[in-house]
Chains A and B, each alone.
Chain A
Amino acid sequence: MKLAARVRNVAAAGALIAVAAGAQTIRFEDVAASSGLDFVHQRAISTTLWFPEIMSGGGGWLDYDGDGDLDAYLVQGGQLDPAAARGAGDRLFRNDGGSFSDVTEVALGARAEYGMGLAVGDYDADGDPDVYVTNVGPNVLLRNNGDGTFTDATEQAQVGHPGWGTSAAFIDYDGDGRLDLFVVNYIHWSPHNEIECFTGGRRRDYCHPSNYNAPAADVLYRNRGDGTFEDTTVSSGLAAFFGNGLGVAVADFDQDGRPDLYVANDGMPNQLWMNRGGRFVNEALIAGCAVNRSGAAEAGMGVVAADLDGDTTTDLFMTHLRDETNTLYLNRGGWFEDVTAARGLGGPSIGRTGFGAGAADFDHDGRLDLVVVNGKVGRGETTVEGADPFAEPNQLYRGSSDGGFTLVPSAFVEPPGTSRAAALGDYDGDGDADVLVVDNGGPARLMRNDYAGGTWLRVTALDRHGAPMAGVELDATTLSSSQRRRTERASSYCASHEPAVHFGLEGEASVNALTAHWPGGPRQRWLSLPADRAIVIYR
């Protein structure tokens, strides 16, 4: 294949957002209301406390209209009771230079599913991003028509899995150049197998998934290239193990050029699906990332796959239930080591229930930081009238020079909510990563990153159809550091991140060399790229 190597400069140097001088701590401010991102997730709490009510809350970023900025897709919950009116449906917000307009009516039409999560990818290879929404009930594939509207292509594509879908990822697992689709399922649930659960001395509370004893198998759909998919779950080996799945991350953990999968399960061992040429083998147990370092299966919710220790291998970070720590597994080349405590991520996370998560260099110091959004899953003891009994503060952990992470107090300027999805993206084009937080039963928050210092480079890798390409490994080398990042939308919890990669450059004026390792082997290199630019590279 002949490769066209071009670099396009799409942003002028310098940050676009003015920030008070001297503001050198990472701080996020909720600008959803002022920017027109007017979305309230509906949580209709039934008297019987149906389990999905407390788990819903997804969304993410996509450039649906191809204008170069990030639009927001937000997944709605609503009413589970079929006898009741369902709810307001998912919403799509168009980004018009940093402020948002609700374009749902024109773009999506009325949707009435009980939604969970979002995956974004150009499955039909026409250059624009399509959308897959997981639901409690049949999932939905929305094909982007390229004219600002979407068409429901679920039936034609045969991907409307009827279970309780959670996170999902578009992934070219067989290397044929077409995006396949992996869907994580939670448990087999219906009102008929809902059960009564109790937290200690309280009368009634939401159940733990183990109470249902009904984990649901995940599903892999292979893209046939004609607008349809075939279910290859069994033939690919993925039916052999499954759990109460909530999170998924795609990465090349063994650096063999093939995308692998990691599935976070709630209260059951996780799966590390190593791609052996189109067939998957679960190596989580021997690799040391099925359970925590004490052998206990934790309540896996969200997951991050990124090079968190700067050694160019992909590590894993997972969020968990309170009384468990979030867990950091460092990739030791063939196996993982749980180093949660040693890296400072143990104690601060024990009192929180983590869901969405993401890694980005929020302060441009060349090291990845971690954002974790929290919210309880049980009513527990809170009896304060009118208060959200599930609300917890969100957290930011700053990556430090010794490889550890330090909790940044008050990084989020917001009242606590019951947060679920966290999707990273530079919605305002100022060069730093912002966070879209979807709360269960509350307004979505657009957490603008107001960090002022450092320099940066943002890279979007496009495939030959002009769509952002997943699975591209990018190495940026400056005078002082070398960093590896990967373009992937899927990770976190029920979320889809911006497909671009962001490098913090510690104040360096340029990147000496940027190397792109495209899926399938070809490699390209660019030299002397000035900092504070958003660039687009083409395969």
Chain B
Amino acid sequence: MKTATLMLVAALAVAPATAAGDAGPTAGADIDPAVTRLVAELRQSVDASPESAAAHADLAIAYEANALWQQAREAYAEALRLDPGNPDWRLHHAIALRQSGDFAASVAELERLIELAPDHAPGLQRLGSAQLENGDTTAARATFMRLIQLDHQLAEGHAGLGDALLREGDPPLAIRQLEAALSLDNTYASAHYLLGQAYRAAGRLDDARRHLAFGQDATPRFLPDALSERLASYAVNLTARLDQASAQLSRRQPDRAIATLQSVRSDHPENVTVLNNLAIAHMHRGDMASARSELDRALAINPDKFSTYLNLAALSQRMNQPVEALRWSDEAVARAPGVARVHVNRAGALLRLGRLDQAIESFEAALAADFREQEPYLALANLELRRDNAEASAGYSSRSLELWPDLVPAHFLQFHARLELSDLEQARSALDAATLLAPDHPNLGELERLYREAVEGSE
């Protein structure tokens, strides 16, 4: 059973507001201390060289990286006043204009950018997208065609052109462009979704259904530009640094994550989320004592945070203390019964204690709280197979495949359940689907053998 970890703070979708006449953040003005420090440092450069466009641009990048959009647009405008020829600053000025609520000015700035730098690929993509949002498909089509002429290997160009063609009512041509986009990058979710719409318009409903399902979690994506890397290094606000620590953990760099989080803690000593994340990083490093210490401190600051109990349960699991894990899980469930993860954690503790029926109940509670949790489906399909309840197992794996058609373990579980039910046709179908998705999977040979035996047994 996988031990649950929890990184609670994710990037926020809350958009910032505009602030007319705001001169910029100052210490104590509700701004993250790390951002205040960075801005103060960069302002010194501006003050020292007020005619330096680069200094103003640096300050603008710092504002943008920390989502201070109004200040970013003003600083980019100043940099462009001093040096109107920099296309990257102009692109980001357009982004800041949009983010601070002025869409029309943003589009105008993108148009100006392309006038000055007609080969600026990230600018062309942003402009084409904005033209599509504005309903100007003719202009968007021309913009994306120019992007393709510039570099026909850019999936973004083909996807944008496909979108424009689809909006203009030409599904066959749209399909050609969108298929081209996916041949360059099959992970491009938006292109899948657009292709699904084009197939549907062309009457190819089965193809449509498949691509719509693949593409439905799309997020907007834009070509990187010359400032992208610097933006990442200037993102010093709390959310960004927590994301940075999370990425470090994903790359199996717990020492780096701990260093990042300790630096965050010095700015936010009472922040329970930071302490929880620090505890998780310590767990990844194998330092359970430090993890416990951070969690105890989090509990002392706020004894009602369910996330702290969740992490205490995870810690106990790692320390092979299932009774303790269950106790902490119960505390988490009591505080957040609507959060699926707390039930999954509890189920894990119950499984360790051999309490299968209760574990199943907890997994079911997890699904009732949130049907999008993947782990309970697989666990329940597995557990029901162990309880010789192949019908129920097949139900869980079927449901998970409705949500995630490319989930290979679910196809395997579906195969086993169908085999148990002597439904050879469905078993074959599940095995074929898994083979298509993961042709090199090491389990396939064994499953083929099981299937052959079942076929022979039925004859």
Contact = CB atoms under 8 A, between A and B. Distances in A.
Interface of A: 163, 187-193, 195-208, 210-217, 239-242, 267, 269, 285-286, 288, 290-291, 293-297, 299, 321-323, 325, 335, 337, 340-344, 346-348, 350-353, 376-384, 389-390
A342 B271 CA distance: 46
A195 B307 contact: yes
Contacts of A267: 13
A286 to B, nearest CB: 6
Given A163-B338, A200-B239, A347-B104, 12 more contacts: A196-B9, A203-B30, A239-B368, A288-B197, A296-B220, A346-B134, A347-B133, A352-B101, A376-B15, A378-B12, A378-B17, A383-B29
A215 B98 contact: no
Contacts of B20: 384
Contacts of B395: none
Interface in B119-138: 132-135, 137
B339 A211 contact: no
Contacts of A189: 338
Contact of A342 (B137, B304, B341): B137
A193 B68 contact: no
Interface stretch (B82-90, B207-215, B407-415): B207-215
B194 A293 contact: yes
Residue among A187, A203, A294, A378 with the highest chain B CB neighbour number at 10 A: A294
Nearest to A337: B197
Contacts of B30: 202-204, 383
Contact of B9 (A197, A321, A335, A390): A197
B67 A200 contact: yes
B103 A380 contact: no
A242 B368 CA distance: 10
B238 A198 contact: yes
A170 to B, nearest CB: 26
Given A188-B339, A286-B209, A322 B371 contact: no
B380 to A, nearest CB: 16
B48 interface: no
Given A196-B272, A208-B12, A285-B216, A376 B17 contact: yes
B339 A323 contact: no
Interface in B28-70: 29-32, 35, 63, 66-70
27 contacts: A188-B369, A192-B305, A192-B335, A193-B335, A198-B237, A198-B239, A200-B67, A201-B66, A204-B30, A208-B13, A213-B341, A214-B370, A216-B338, A239-B368, A290-B216, A293-B163, A293-B193, A295-B192, A299-B13, A341-B133, A347-B107, A378-B17, A381-B17, A381-B69, A383-B29, A384-B21, A390-B17
Contacts of A390: 17
A271 to B, nearest CB: 12
B161 to A, nearest CB: 14
The 5 residue pairs across chains A and B that have the minimum distance between CB atoms:
A188-B338, A200-B67, A295-B193, A380-B17, A295-B218
Given A198-B32, A206-B14, A291-B193, A381 B70 contact: yes
B102 to A, nearest CB: 7
A346 B98 CA distance: 13
Nearest to A404: B135
A376 B13 CA distance: 12
A242 B14 contact: no
B76 interface: no
B194 A294 contact: yes
B395 to A, nearest CB: 12
A352 B100 CA distance: 10
B17 A188 contact: no
A132 B431 CA distance: 50
Contacts of B154: none
B345 interface: no
B73 to A, nearest CB: 11
A376 B16 CA distance: 9
A505 B163 CA distance: 38
Contacts of B17: 376, 378-382, 389-390
Nearest to B167: A342
B25 A380 contact: no
B135 A341 contact: yes
Nearest to A389: B17
B117 interface: no
Nearest to B8: A195
B177 interface: no
A286 B212 contact: yes
Contacts of A242: 371
A214 B338 contact: yes
A32 B312 CA distance: 54
Nearest to B35: A201
A291 B218 contact: yes
A423 B242 CA distance: 42
Given A285-B216, A379-B17, A199 B67 contact: yes
A285 B218 contact: no
B220 A294 contact: yes
A210 B11 CA distance: 10
A379 B67 CA distance: 12
Contacts of B190: 294-296
Nearest to B16: A380
A200 B237 contact: yes
A344 B273 contact: no
B22 A346 contact: no
Contact of B133 (A188, A204, A213, A346): A346
A163 to B, nearest CB: 8
B284 interface: no
B338 A201 contact: no
Contacts of A239: 368
B99 interface: yes
Contact of A377 (B14, B98, B219, B306): B14
B165 to A, nearest CB: 13
B336 A214 contact: yes
B296 to A, nearest CB: 19
Contacts of B194: 293-295
B19 interface: yes
Interface in B368-417: 368-372
A192 B14 contact: no
B135 A192 contact: no
B98 A350 contact: yes
B363 to A, nearest CB: 16
A74 to B, nearest CB: 26
A201 B32 contact: yes
Contacts of B339: 188, 193, 212-214
A403 to B, nearest CB: 12
B304 A192 contact: yes
A322 B21 CA distance: 21
B237 A381 contact: no
Contacts of A295: 189-190, 192-194, 212, 215-218
Contacts of A201: 25, 31-32, 35, 63, 66-68, 237
Contacts of A285: 209, 212-213, 216
Contacts of B226: none
A198 B19 contact: no
Interface string B187-230: 00110111001001000010011001101111110000000000
B18 interface: yes
A150 to B, nearest CB: 30
Contact of B208 (A205, A215, A286, A294): A286
A323 B271 contact: no
B337 interface: yes
B35 to A, nearest CB: 4
A195 B273 CA distance: 8
B300 interface: no
B68 A200 contact: yes
